[in-house]
């Protein structure tokens, strides 16, 4: 790739993985700023749109490199899955924020703040785990990070179930129920995709560690 011209192709995968996970962390932090009220939603959507485009570019570079690299650091399907699932996380958080803007959400909920915290924690764990891919003898050390990401995903499920239960305590407010059910759906799926990334990392560690 032109942006990483002096590195061997195998090393470029690791550089791009770390760039993609850093973008995920930045997106989670930006979303948290918005739901906490420290950033205007219009500005957040604009910044998240740029981050989403940046993530798309990284994902494209990884997939393109797969087609031009004879020897890859590990299985091609795992490389593709890592890139695509990380991109999904960014897309879903961006979609949740755009939906909040479209629906003119003025007051965020405690559940949205809790889910933002979970996404930050998950992406931080991935940020710690990703550099380990470059150390074949230490691959098994990604496993504790994967366990923690899975634990956080279970908490996210509980947060969403509780939040939906609270919404339906006022069944006459159909519009609000529809809005937040959609938003929570995007956020919960984002935590699921973080778990998917962790599962791919776990598979790599078990196959090659």
Per-residue pLDDT reduced to its tens digit, 34-61: 999 988 899 999 999 999 999 999 999 9
Q: List, in order, residues 6 or more apart from 84 with CB less than 8 Å away.
A: 59
Q: What is the 3-state secondary structure (H, E, C) of 44-67?
A: HHHHHHHHHHHHHHHHHHHHHHHC
Count, in order, helices (H) and strands (E) of the chain.
6, 0
Backbone angle region of 179, left / alpha / beta, with phi > 0 → left and psi within -120 to 50 → alpha: alpha
Q: What are phi and psi of 73, to 5 degrees?
A: -65, -25
CATH number for the region 9-208 comes to 1.20.58.220
Which residues in 15-28 are b (16+ Cβ under 10 Å) and which e?
Answer: bbbbbbbbbbbbbb
What pLDDT does residue 8 have? 53
Low-confidence ranges of the chain (pLDDT < 70): 1-9, 209
What pLDDT does residue 1 have? 41
Query: ∠ at Cα 61 (60, 64), nearest 5°?
Result: 80
What pLDDT does residue 4 have? 52
CA-wise closest residue to 46 among 30, 61, 59: 30
User: Which segments within the chain are labelled E, that is strand?
Assistant: none
What pLDDT does residue 102 have? 96
Domains of the chain, residue spans: 9-208
Neighbours of 158 (CB within 10 A): 10
């Amino acid at each position: 790739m032109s942006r990483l011209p002096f590195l061997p192709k195998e090393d470029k995968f690791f550089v791009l993985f770390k760039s993609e996970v850093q973008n995920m962390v930045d997106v989670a932090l930006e979303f948290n700023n918005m739901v906490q009220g420290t950033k205007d939603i219009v500005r957040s959507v604009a910044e998240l749109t740029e981050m989403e485009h940046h993530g798309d570019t990284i994902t494209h570079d990884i997939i393109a490199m797969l087609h031009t690299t004879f020897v890859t650091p590990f299985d091609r399907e795992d490389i593709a899955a890592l890139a695509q699932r990380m991109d999904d996380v960014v897309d879903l958080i961006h979609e949740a924020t755009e939906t909040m803007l479209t629906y003119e959400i003025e007051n965020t909920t405690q559940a949205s703040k809790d889910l933002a915290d979970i996404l930050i924690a998950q992406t931080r764990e991935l940020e710690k785990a990703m550099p380990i891919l470059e150390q074949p003898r230490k691959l098994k050390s990604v496993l504790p990070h994967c366990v923690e990401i899975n634990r956080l995903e279970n908490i996210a499920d509980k947060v969403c179930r509780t939040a939906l239960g609270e919404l339906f305590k006022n069944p006459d407010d159909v519009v609000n129920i529809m809005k937040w059910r959609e938003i929570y759906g995007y956020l919960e799926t984002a935590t699921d995709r973080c778990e998917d990334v962790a599962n791919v990392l776990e598979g790599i560690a078990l196959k090659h560690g």
